[in-house]
Amino acid sequence: MASADVALKDAMMIEGAVGAALVDYTSGMALGTLGGSKDLDLAVAAAGNTDVVRAKMRTLETLGIQDAIEDILITLGSQYHVIRPLAGSAGQGLFLYLVLDRARANLAMARHQLKRIEHEVDM
Protein backbone atom coordinates (compact mmCIF):
# COMPACT_ATOMS: atom_id res chain seq x y z
CA MET A 1 0.00 0.00 0.00
CA ALA A 2 1.24 3.48 -0.90
CA SER A 3 1.12 6.59 1.23
CA ALA A 4 -0.20 9.89 -0.09
CA ASP A 5 3.34 11.04 -0.89
CA VAL A 6 4.13 7.91 -2.88
CA ALA A 7 0.80 8.12 -4.71
CA LEU A 8 1.50 11.72 -5.73
CA LYS A 9 5.01 10.84 -6.89
CA ASP A 10 3.57 7.98 -8.94
CA ALA A 11 0.98 10.33 -10.44
CA MET A 12 3.69 12.80 -11.44
CA MET A 13 5.47 9.97 -13.29
CA ILE A 14 2.52 9.74 -15.70
CA GLU A 15 3.54 11.09 -19.10
CA GLY A 16 2.49 14.72 -19.44
CA ALA A 17 1.77 15.28 -15.72
CA VAL A 18 1.91 18.94 -14.67
CA GLY A 19 0.53 18.63 -11.15
CA ALA A 20 -1.21 16.22 -8.81
CA ALA A 21 -3.12 16.47 -5.55
CA LEU A 22 -4.84 14.23 -3.06
CA VAL A 23 -7.93 16.07 -1.89
CA ASP A 24 -10.49 15.65 0.90
CA TYR A 25 -13.78 16.64 -0.74
CA THR A 26 -15.60 16.97 2.56
CA SER A 27 -13.39 19.94 3.49
CA GLY A 28 -11.93 20.96 0.12
CA MET A 29 -8.41 20.76 1.51
CA ALA A 30 -5.50 19.27 -0.38
CA LEU A 31 -3.86 16.63 1.81
CA GLY A 32 -0.84 16.73 -0.47
CA THR A 33 0.26 18.32 -3.72
CA LEU A 34 3.13 17.86 -6.11
CA GLY A 35 4.02 19.88 -9.18
CA GLY A 36 2.00 22.83 -10.34
CA SER A 37 3.28 26.16 -11.63
CA LYS A 38 2.77 29.88 -11.25
CA ASP A 39 -0.35 29.45 -13.41
CA LEU A 40 -1.56 26.33 -11.58
CA ASP A 41 -2.13 26.73 -7.85
CA LEU A 42 -3.01 23.19 -6.82
CA ALA A 43 -4.53 24.25 -3.48
CA VAL A 44 -6.97 26.57 -5.25
CA ALA A 45 -7.68 23.93 -7.91
CA ALA A 46 -8.30 21.32 -5.18
CA ALA A 47 -10.87 23.53 -3.49
CA GLY A 48 -12.59 24.36 -6.77
CA ASN A 49 -12.73 20.77 -7.94
CA THR A 50 -14.26 19.78 -4.63
CA ASP A 51 -17.34 21.68 -5.79
CA VAL A 52 -17.30 19.71 -9.05
CA VAL A 53 -17.23 16.37 -7.21
CA ARG A 54 -19.95 17.41 -4.76
CA ALA A 55 -22.19 18.69 -7.57
CA LYS A 56 -21.85 15.46 -9.55
CA MET A 57 -22.56 13.34 -6.47
CA ARG A 58 -25.69 15.41 -5.73
CA THR A 59 -26.82 15.01 -9.34
CA LEU A 60 -26.40 11.22 -9.24
CA GLU A 61 -28.36 11.12 -5.98
CA THR A 62 -31.14 13.32 -7.40
CA LEU A 63 -31.39 11.11 -10.45
CA GLY A 64 -31.44 7.99 -8.30
CA ILE A 65 -28.38 6.55 -10.02
CA GLN A 66 -26.88 3.88 -7.76
CA ASP A 67 -23.36 3.93 -9.16
CA ALA A 68 -19.97 5.34 -8.26
CA ILE A 69 -18.05 7.99 -10.16
CA GLU A 70 -15.02 6.41 -11.80
CA ASP A 71 -13.52 9.69 -12.92
CA ILE A 72 -14.42 13.17 -14.11
CA LEU A 73 -12.60 14.67 -17.08
CA ILE A 74 -12.34 18.38 -17.78
CA THR A 75 -10.80 19.12 -21.17
CA LEU A 76 -9.16 22.49 -21.74
CA GLY A 77 -7.40 23.75 -24.84
CA SER A 78 -3.96 22.79 -23.53
CA GLN A 79 -4.67 20.56 -20.54
CA TYR A 80 -6.67 17.63 -19.25
CA HIS A 81 -7.86 17.74 -15.63
CA VAL A 82 -8.72 14.29 -14.30
CA ILE A 83 -10.58 13.87 -11.00
CA ARG A 84 -10.71 10.34 -9.60
CA PRO A 85 -12.67 9.74 -6.38
CA LEU A 86 -11.03 6.97 -4.36
CA ALA A 87 -13.09 3.81 -3.95
CA GLY A 88 -13.32 1.74 -0.80
CA SER A 89 -13.35 2.64 2.85
CA ALA A 90 -9.66 3.65 2.89
CA GLY A 91 -10.32 6.44 0.38
CA GLN A 92 -13.74 7.55 1.56
CA GLY A 93 -14.13 11.28 0.95
CA LEU A 94 -10.90 11.62 -1.07
CA PHE A 95 -10.07 12.15 -4.72
CA LEU A 96 -6.92 12.19 -6.81
CA TYR A 97 -6.59 15.23 -9.05
CA LEU A 98 -4.21 15.14 -11.99
CA VAL A 99 -3.41 17.90 -14.48
CA LEU A 100 -1.93 16.78 -17.79
CA ASP A 101 -0.36 18.69 -20.66
CA ARG A 102 -2.51 17.68 -23.65
CA ALA A 103 0.40 17.84 -26.08
CA ARG A 104 2.42 15.28 -24.09
CA ALA A 105 -0.22 13.09 -22.45
CA ASN A 106 -1.92 9.89 -23.48
CA LEU A 107 -5.30 10.29 -21.76
CA ALA A 108 -6.27 6.61 -21.89
CA MET A 109 -2.94 5.55 -20.38
CA ALA A 110 -3.14 8.27 -17.72
CA ARG A 111 -6.61 7.10 -16.65
CA HIS A 112 -5.37 3.52 -16.49
CA GLN A 113 -2.36 4.52 -14.37
CA LEU A 114 -4.52 6.64 -12.02
CA LYS A 115 -6.76 3.63 -11.46
CA ARG A 116 -3.71 1.58 -10.47
CA ILE A 117 -2.47 4.33 -8.14
CA GLU A 118 -5.93 4.60 -6.56
CA HIS A 119 -5.88 0.93 -5.61
CA GLU A 120 -2.46 1.34 -3.97
CA VAL A 121 -3.34 4.33 -1.77
CA ASP A 122 -3.55 3.51 1.94
CA MET A 123 -4.88 6.37 4.05
Model confidence at 89, in pLDDT bands (50, 70, 90)? low
Kindly tell me if the per-residue pLDDT of 48 is higher than 70. Answer: yes
Q: What is the average pLDDT score of the chain? A: 92
Question: How much of the chain exceeds pLDDT 70, in percent?
Answer: 93
Give the span between the Cα atoms of 107 and 56, in whole angstroms: 21
Q: Kindly report the three-state secondary structure assignment for every residue of the chain.
A: CECHHHHHHHHHCCCCEEEEEEEECCCCEEEEEEECECCECHHHHHHHHHHHHHHHHHHHHHHCCCCCCCCEEEECCCEEEEEEECCCHHHCCEEEEEEEECCCCCHHHHHHHHHHHHHHECC
Q: Do 74 and 56 meet the contact criterion of CB atoms below 8 Å apart?
A: no
pLDDT of 24 over the 90 cut: yes
CATH label of the domain that carries residue 53 = 3.30.450.30
Stretch 37-56: mean pLDDT: 93
pLDDT of residue 114: 95
Count of structural domains within the chain: 1
In this prediction the pTM is 0.92
Domain, as residue range, for 109: 4-120
